[in-house]
């Protein structure tokens, strides 16, 4: 088999792990996972300019961990393609979804070519092989987030389903969300079938973010508060929230049994996460954010918390016994994985988890810190651009949401796309935040470890050219004067 595993089928329940996999901690590296190391004998200090000829500072700006992108970028074939009018792709939308390395795609193909079968329910070779690969992926995710037990990892279709699962299973309680003016968790919870019928009330935490995203956590005292959703990294502002402070405050002021849920979609892909040290009860993530397939994610929960939750859906595998008089349910995680699961996607998620661990989460985080600071510093120098989030020099994620004077975000992203630069335009699931900031929409450039300094430089160049074009068009007072666009944009991209 192409997957090495010690997973077996115990006699008590086919879904439970063997005792050898119920480890007290999972901080050892995955088998075969050796973090990348710089091959350079020495690296120039980041940000040191050696030009004395008056050239712009960024011309000689260097990144100490640039080798991370240099070593990994060739493993992402899509990044070498051209788009539109033969323009090299500059992909700056990884906060929406990341690109996939060849070994993740190969894992999906290998599954379908060599072991395609349903899991847990067959004694034949293919079923056992598929089950082994599927459960290996659970181990890989547990390793990635530092879970104490593999049974604490529940496979879902993504973070959205994980939040809906909790909203329904924790029904009858009052829950708050502590994300910076983000509407998605509120919408997920309010739409969760059964949460309203059970008397659940989801209330938004009062937040007053300004353009930097800084400020103390706004967690009002409420002894009846039995659920709190926290986002450690903002996908819109890029600010990194003090999870330890928020958790401590909630534990001191909320109901003793308050469930703290971490939406880790923007943290698991970019930094080392250890759920045992966070002090939270649940955590959700999506594979497509950390180089895995779409349609698959996970919910982590303390095992005692998961054991106390009722099933989310009914179907095969989530039952223990069934009689005409009633049913009993399987223990976690089977209880929450009803029906045939997304097996291939789970296998791909496991491959992605192993891949980013081999790159090294410390390497990824260190490089993105440098590249993110470079991005925001350069954007702050572009006339007519307002960059939201922490200013240069302060900790932030490697993304920048921004508004442009006189240019709508959708128009801007369309023109950038004509030059091969892919950015996101819209609300970024944060309509209340945009209302607070006084803008209808924003554009967002988001980076990952495969992006390079050149990606940022090309983006800034095209951004400045686009801003100049719209400024000149406004001065000319006409909408059909495109003379200044010769050699800049090609309208052959439009059908």
Q: Give the mean model confidence (pLDDT) for residues 342-365.
A: 98
Q: Give the mean model confidence (pLDDT) for residues 48-72.
A: 84
C-alpha 229/C-alpha 242 separation (Å) is 14
Average pLDDT over the chain, rounded to an integer:
80
Phi and psi dihedrals of 390, rounded to 5? -60, 145
| Residue recorded with tokens 């792990």 | 17
Active-site residue, 429 included? yes
pLDDT above 80: residue 80: yes
| Residue recorded with tokens 């989530």 | 318
Tens digit of each residue's pLDDT (9 = 90 or more) over 138-182: 999 999 999 999 999 999 999 999 999 999 998 744 444 444 444
Burial of 180 by CB count in 10 Å (0-12 exposed, 13-18 middle, 19+ buried)? buried
Confidence category of residue 361, pLDDT binned at 50, 70, 90: very high
**Sequence-ordered list of residues with C-beta below 8 angstroms from that of 459, at least 6 positions apart, any chain:** 90, 92, 416, 421, 423, 445
C-alpha 140/C-alpha 149 separation (Å) is 12
DSSP class of residue 18 equals P
Nearest to 176 by CA among 258, 298, 280: 258
Q: Give the mean model confidence (pLDDT) for residues 105-119.
A: 98
* Partners of 385 in the β-ladder: 404
Which of the listed ranges 35-39, 186-190, 266-270, 430-434 does the model predict with the highest average pLDDT? Answer: 266-270
How many angstroms separate the Cα of 189 from the Cα of each of 134, 179, 306? 29, 13, 18
| Bridge-based pairing state of the strands 153-156 and 297-301 | antiparallel
pLDDT computed for residue 475 by the predictor: 65
**Span of 11-25, 48-62, 335-349, 480-494 with lowest mean pLDDT:** 11-25
DSSP codes of every residue in 319-363: EEEEETTEEEEPPTTGGG--SS--HHHHHHHHHHHHHHHHH-HHH
Tens digit of each residue's pLDDT (9 = 90 or more) over 238-253: 889 899 999 999 989 8
Nearest to 493 by CA among 413, 426, 423, 415: 415
Is residue 181 within 8 A of residue 314, CB to CB? The reply is no
pLDDT above 80: residue 195: no
The pTM of the whole model exceeds 0.95: no
pLDDT computed for residue 222 by the predictor: 56
How many angstroms separate the Cα of 168 from the Cα of each of 42, 203, 225, 369, 395? 54, 15, 16, 37, 35
pLDDT above 90: residue 494: no
Which of the listed ranges 194-198, 208-212, 349-353 does the model predict with the highest average pLDDT? Answer: 349-353
**Sequence-ordered list of residues with C-beta below 8 angstroms from that of 253, at least 6 positions apart, any chain:** 219, 220, 221, 222, 223, 225
pLDDT computed for residue 203 by the predictor: 40
pLDDT computed for residue 10 by the predictor: 31
Q: How many CB atoms lie within 10 A of CB 477?
A: 7
Tens digit of each residue's pLDDT (9 = 90 or more) over 373-429: 999 999 999 999 999 988 999 999 999 999 999 888 889 999 999 999 999 887 677
Please tell me which residue in 239, 258, 265, 429 is annotated as part of the active site.
429
pLDDT computed for residue 393 by the predictor: 92
pLDDT computed for residue 441 by the predictor: 81
Nearest to 289 by CA among 413, 446, 136: 446
Q: Give the mean model confidence (pLDDT) for residues 272-291.
A: 96
């Amino acid at each position: 088999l192409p997957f090495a595993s010690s997973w077996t089928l115990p006699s008590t329940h086919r879904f439970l792990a063997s005792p050898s996999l119920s480890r007290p901690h999972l901080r050892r590296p995955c088998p075969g996972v050796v973090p990348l190391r710089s091959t350079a004998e020495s690296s120039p200090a980041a940000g040191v300019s050696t030009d004395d000829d008056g050239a712009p500072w960024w011309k000689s700006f260097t990144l100490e961990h640039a080798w991370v992108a240099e070593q990994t970028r060739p493993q992402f074939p899509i990044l070498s393609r051209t788009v539109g009018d033969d323009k090299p792709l500059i992909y700056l939308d990884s906060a929406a979804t990341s690109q996939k390395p060849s070994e993740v795609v190969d894992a999906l193909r290998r599954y379908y070519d060599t072991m395609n079968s349903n899991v847990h329910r067959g004694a034949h070779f293919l079923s056992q092989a598929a089950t082994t690969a599927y459960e290996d992926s659970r181990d890989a995710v547990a390793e990635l987030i530092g879970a104490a037990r593999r049974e604490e990892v529940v496979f879902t279709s993504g973070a959205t389903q994980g939040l809906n699962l909790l909203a329904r299973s924790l029904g009858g309680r009052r829950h708050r969300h502590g994300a910076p003016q983000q509407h998605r968790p509120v919408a997920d919870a309010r739409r969760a079938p059964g949460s309203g019928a059970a008397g659940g009330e989801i209330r938004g935490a009062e937040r007053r973010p300004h353009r930097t995203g800084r400020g103390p956590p706004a967690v009002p005292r409420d002894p009846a508060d039995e659920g709190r959703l926290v986002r450690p990294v903002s996908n819109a502002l890029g600010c990194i929230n003090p999870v330890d402070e928020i958790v401590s405050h909630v534990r001191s002021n909320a109901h003793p049994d308050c469930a703290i849920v971490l939406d880790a979609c923007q943290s698991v892909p970019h930094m080392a996460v250890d759920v045992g040290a966070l002090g939270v009860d649940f955590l959700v993530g999506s594979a497509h954010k950390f180089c895995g397939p779409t349609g698959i994610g996970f919910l982590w929960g303390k095992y005692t918390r998961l054991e106390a939750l009722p099933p989310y859906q009914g179907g095969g595998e989530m039952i223990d016994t069934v009689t005409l008089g009633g049913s009993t349910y399987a223990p976690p995680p089977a209880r929450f994985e009803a029906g045939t699961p997304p097996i291939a996607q789970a296998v791909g998620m496991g491959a992605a988890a192993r891949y980013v661990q081999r790159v090294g989460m410390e390497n990824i985080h260190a490089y993105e810190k440098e590249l993110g600071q470079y991005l925001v510093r350069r954007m702050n120098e572009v006339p007519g651009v307002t960059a939201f989030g922490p200013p240069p020099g302060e900790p932030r994620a490697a993304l920048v949401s921004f508004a442009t004077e006189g240019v709508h975000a959708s128009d801007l992203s369309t023109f950038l796309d004509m030059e091969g630069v892919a950015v996101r335009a819209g609300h970024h699931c944060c309509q209340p935040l945009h209302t607070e900031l006084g803008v209808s929409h924003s554009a967002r450039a988001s980076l990952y470890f495969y992006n390079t300094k050149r990606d940022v430089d090309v983006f800034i160049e095209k951004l400045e050219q686009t801003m100049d074009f719209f400024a000149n068009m406004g001065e000319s007072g006409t909408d059909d004067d495109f003379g200044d666009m010769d050699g800049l944009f090609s309208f052959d991209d439009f059908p």
